[in-house]
Copies of this chain bind each other. A is one copy, B any other.
Amino acid sequence: MISISREEILGFEKRFRGTFVNSLSGVKSANLIATKSAAGNSNLAIFSSVIHLGASPPLLGFIMRPVTVDRHTYQNIKETLSFTVNHISYDFIKQAHGTSARYSKEVSEFDACGFTETHSEFYAPFVKESALRIACKLSEDIEIKSNNTRLITGHIEKVELKEAALLPDGYVDLSVLGTAGISALDGYHKIEKAKRFKYAKPHKKVVDLNGRNESES
């Protein structure tokens, strides 16, 4: 094991530091957030910070970097309150990574990176290629004072997903969806089938949820 102090991290070359610190939390979710400006321009951007916040009411969140420069996703959500979260499949990680480039506001990353918009009763578009898509309505926009990032929270209004991935107990199998994971800024992982355990109780052995993934209800 090696040990790295805060002072050493602060002294790292900027890109090395960014890559290193972005690695530390572990594997991250891989999503495309789609929005549309009030003027009608669609936007699509990759986010590795989408997290579960609660089931009742269904709520999720993601981190927005400091809005000291133009952030199209942020501007569109503030204008329209509407956004969609779309799982990135391992099959299209290359195109998804392309949405991280700094396109100008008039350019739709759907067109530039090869994705297809679908429309519904929600203002923000969905990504047709995604195997799980969530329509959200802005709930809160919370400033994190330590570094001027923001936690954006959204109420889940609708979920569209590949039916075969939804198991009888409500578990969504990411390996059936084909959903990818992210590490650091540029690493993409294929997600294999999970090993599941039963609800843990104090001083009892942890028990495998044997075969439940496949057959039991």
A1 shortest CB reach to chain B, Å? 5
A13 shortest CB reach to chain B, Å? 8
| Cβ–Cβ < 8 Å partners of A119 in chain B | none
- Would A26 and B29 count as touching, CB distance under 8 A? yes
For residue A56, CB closer than 8 A to chain B, the reply is: yes
Asked whether A26 and B160 contact (CB < 8 A) given A144-B151, A172-B20, A196-B187, the answer is no
Asked whether A60 and B170 contact (CB < 8 A) given A3-B158, A158-B3, the answer is no
Give the residue name and chain of the B residue nearest to A147 (CB): B54
| Cβ–Cβ < 8 Å partners of A3 in chain B | 158-160
For residue A101, CB closer than 8 A to chain B, the reply is: yes
Secondary structure type dominating chain A contacts: mixed
Report the Cα distance A87→B25, complex, angstroms.
8
A130 shortest CB reach to chain B, Å? 10
Asked whether A58 and B201 contact (CB < 8 A) given A25-B52, A206-B94, the answer is no
- Would B149 and A102 count as touching, CB distance under 8 A? no
Asked whether A28 and B6 contact (CB < 8 A) given A181-B181, A188-B197, A206-B97, the answer is no
For residue A81, CB closer than 8 A to chain B, the reply is: no
Give the residue name and chain of the B residue nearest to A100 (CB): B200
- Would A24 and B101 count as touching, CB distance under 8 A? no
| Cβ–Cβ < 8 Å partners of A153 in chain B | 144, 146
A residues sitting closer than 8 Å to B (CB atoms) are: 1-6, 9-10, 12, 14-31, 48-61, 63, 85, 87, 93-95, 97-104, 107, 112, 132, 134, 139-140, 142, 144-147, 149, 151, 153, 155-163, 166, 169-174, 179, 181, 183-184, 186-204, 206, 209
User: In the complex, given contacts A6-B155, A172-B183, A183-B191, what are 4 additional A-B residue pairs having Cβ atoms less than 8 angstroms apart?
Assistant: A51-B63, A53-B63, A144-B153, A189-B193
